[in-house]
Structure 1
Amino acid sequence: MNHVHTYQGSFSTFLKQFSLFVSLLIGFQALGLTLFAFYSQADLFLMINRLHHNDADQFFMYLTHLGDWPVTALLAFFFLFVNYRYALVLVANMLYTGFFTQLIKIIVQHPRPAVYFQHLEPIYTIKDYALQNSLSFPSGHTTCVFSLAISLSYLFLAQRKQPWLFLMALTVSISRVYLAQHFFKDLLAGSFIGTFFALHLLWLFERTQWFHAKQLDSNLLRRFKSNNSVKS
């Protein structure tokens, strides 16, 4: 019986593998908290909301879908044909971070910008683009896309790719304010949950034997070929 080597380091040590991503996130969080020292959530929202352009409208309407859970689910389905462990990481992180996000949403019950501003002042909205009305805090799209970015960083451990994955996640999260779906503080919370909760789950996985089992190194194509060879 082969001995399975599990990760025995602390969570802080595990984080060092993602030092670039985590450093960029801390910088984003620090910037956000600094802005809140000078501006209200309404002011920060309006600063972005007033920067509209027709081309940017189209760009962000498409880009924001990277934060939809079906995108992560579709990637996980693709990875079933590559490596079961890869698919598991994507789905597990999506569900784990999504659970805490939805729980906080239900507890906080914060209105979306469309409701918050309806009796204050008009805000820019894109024609025929549906706006959500409730459960604004935190941003689910932001949580999901940051969880996805961390999952991809983990699967393809390469420090040089982490800044690009962070930039992708950050741009998707900014689209949520641009599209008048969220406040800036929703992005701060979502990015924190999506990053650190995903890393925490990966750390827990790394410490278990079943996560390192050889069965998870297989894929659907290999199993299909194996079944056909047995039948023949």
Structure 2
Amino acid sequence: MAHPEPHGDLSGRLNWLRAGVLGANDGIVSTAGLVVGVAGASTDRTAILAAGVAGLVAGSLSMAGGEYVSVSTQRDTERAAIELEERELRDMPEEEERELAGIYQDRGLSPELAAQVARELTAKDALRAHAEAELQIDPDHLTSPWQAAWASLISFAVGALVPLLAIVLPPTSWRVWTCAVAVVVGLVLTGWISARLGSGSAGRAVRRNVVVGSLTMLVTYYVGVLFGVTLG
């Protein structure tokens, strides 16, 4: 018999871990593209640092705001679904119990056992039984927009520090290459973590991350070189 996915604390941890990994990955790629592009146009350390810090702050706030809005919408949808389930349980409890039994019967239980399971779960906690079986929602552990927002903000900032520090600390001749190496290492790490969280292929995730990040740096660097030459 297929079981609903686990919720509660595990769901909350996965929520902020997902937001954190995505935020770190975006911080690495977008900030690397920004500072490498500026480095292609100018060797002024202050200009590169200012652009990088501005990108870090703007990106962190943007990621946090976007994640908050997105997860808030999801939470509102979950609440609306639970409220509807509460009304249905109040207005037509017999029909809802039969519906719950039908769900377990569809999952492989015999009609008699499905009816018994539905009856016992309804007697213990009808709302939880229906929310978990029908909606795959734990009514006591809804997704947290603040948790996701803070995870995105902090992780973006941490990810953005990788290319920012790697390009402003070394000597001028080493900046771009040092930044490129640091970014590749960071993208390998975030790709591996995202694959583990999603039970996917680590090799595919790492290759995708590294290719996208490398292309971003390559394109933005030569855009910077073009503007640097033109403006010079």
Question: In terms of Rg, which structure is larger?
Answer: 2
**Which structure carries more helix by proportion?**
2
State whether TM-score is above 0.5: no
Shorter-chain TM-score: which interval? under 0.3
TM-score of the aligned structures, taking structure 1 as reference length: 0.28
RCO higher in structure (CA 8 A, sep ≥6): 2
